[in-house]
């Protein structure tokens, strides 16, 4: 798999039914080793090891209902009251991060109303903070440490 702009870690890869799989620490199971999943596993490791996010407050593949259709957020980080705090959307490294990609996560946030939105393709990472009181948002220069959320 492609090297990413994220810290390396001891990735657990295997083969099941003739297909490559990667271990998802949060879901505690092997999942298909797609390029997007490669980014997800590295990004989650980054949040846990470098940004001090508690593992117990992060979940992968969170289902939501949006306009009468079922959608899935790639990763959601919750606060200590178990309210959505951060929504993260991953793309494969070959996928450019565009406004359209951000529109997807913004739609999810219409349901969850998280304070932070992050989009990453493993090479580039974008984070914005939403201010609901002023009805505005701003892009941050880096992914914040959990203690600063």
Mapped onto helix, strand or coil, the DSSP state of residue 59 is strand
Could you give the C-alpha distances from 2 to 63, 76, 89, 117, in angstroms and in order?
A: 28, 24, 18, 24
Average pLDDT over every residue of 45-49: 97
The lowest-confidence range among 27-31, 66-70, 78-82, 138-142 is 66-70
- pLDDT band of 148, cuts 50, 70, 90: very high
Is the alpha carbon torsion for 83, 84, 86, 90 positive or negative?
Answer: positive
Sign of CA dihedral 75, 146, 8, 141: positive
Each residue's pLDDT tens digit, 83-127? 999 999 999 999 999 988 888 898 889 889 999 999 999 999 999
Please determine, for residue 65, whether its predicted confidence score (pLDDT) is greater than 90: no
All structural domains of the chain: 52-148 (3.90.1570.30)
Q: Is 5 within 8 Å of 124 (Cβ atoms)? A: yes
Mean pLDDT computed over every residue of the chain: 94
Confidence check: pLDDT of 67 > 90: no
Look at residue 13 in the predicted model and tell me its pLDDT. Answer: 96
**N- to C-terminal Cα separation, the chain:** 32
């Amino acid at each position: 798999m492609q090297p990413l702009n994220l810290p390396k870690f001891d990735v657990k890869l295997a083969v099941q039914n003739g297909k490559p799989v990667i271990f998802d620490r949060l879901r505690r199971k092997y999942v298909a080793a797609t390029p997007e999943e490669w980014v997800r596993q590295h990004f989650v490791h980054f949040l846990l090891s470098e940004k001090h996010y508690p593992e117990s407050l992060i979940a992968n593949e969170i289902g939501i209902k949006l306009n009468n259709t079922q959608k899935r957020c790639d990763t959601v980080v919750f606060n200590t009251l178990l309210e959505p705090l951060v929504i993260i959307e991953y793309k494969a490294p070959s996928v450019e991060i565009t406004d359209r990609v951000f529109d997807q996560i913004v739609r999810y946030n219409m349901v969850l109303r998280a304070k932070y939105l992050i989009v990453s393709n493993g090479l580039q990472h974008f984070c914005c903070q939403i201010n609901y009181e002023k009805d505005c948002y701003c892009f941050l220069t880096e992914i914040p440490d959990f203690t600063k959320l």
